[in-house]
Amino acid sequence: MTREEKFMMEAIALSQNGVRNNEGGPFGCIIVKDDTIIGRGNNKVTSSNDPTAHAEVVAIRDACKNLGTFQLEGCEIYTSCEPCPMCLGAIYWARPKVVYFANSRQDAANIGFDDSMIYEELGIDLDKRKIPIINLGSEDALKIFEEWQNKEDKIEY
């Protein structure tokens, strides 16, 4: 068994523990840096009443807390299922070097976790989406963007 397969088995075990503990859906994730697990997460959507508590997001939060940083440079993510659009966005913001996944998004759809509608919505004009997305207050909000742009002591990311 390769080191990658061993780490993936850890992510899969987290997904099973979450299911057996009624914490949420069957998803687990670990984050590895220098062959050490620095972040763990399993889906906790239903147990925490948090729709963002997907395994990858929980693991990213744990890893960043443990590393004392907001990015995961040089890290590997092992997740029991192909990341959904939200998790994929979080992963790109965290900037790991690689992501490994076990089950595909089609496997997830087959058991009721179908995120194809979200992928489709991303390509549709705002005024045609299922949930209205309405631009409001941009004149005032742009002033804050300008303040950020001119801020001398900001931390870039």
Q: Is 139 a catalytic residue?
A: no
Distance of alpha carbon 137 from alpha carbon 63, whole angstroms: 35
Which tokens go with 60?
Answer: 């990213």
Please tell me which residue in 4, 10, 23, 56 is annotated as part of the active site.
56
Burial of 14: CB neighbours in 10 Å, binned 0-12, 13-18, 19+: buried
Give SS3 for 1: coil
Distance of alpha carbon 2 from alpha carbon 40, whole angstroms: 20
Cβ-contact 35, 7 below 8 angstroms = no
Distance of alpha carbon 119 from alpha carbon 112, whole angstroms: 16
Cβ-contact 18, 27 below 8 angstroms = yes
Which element (helix H / strand E) includes 28? strand 28-33
Query: Which residues are identified as catalytic?
Result: 56
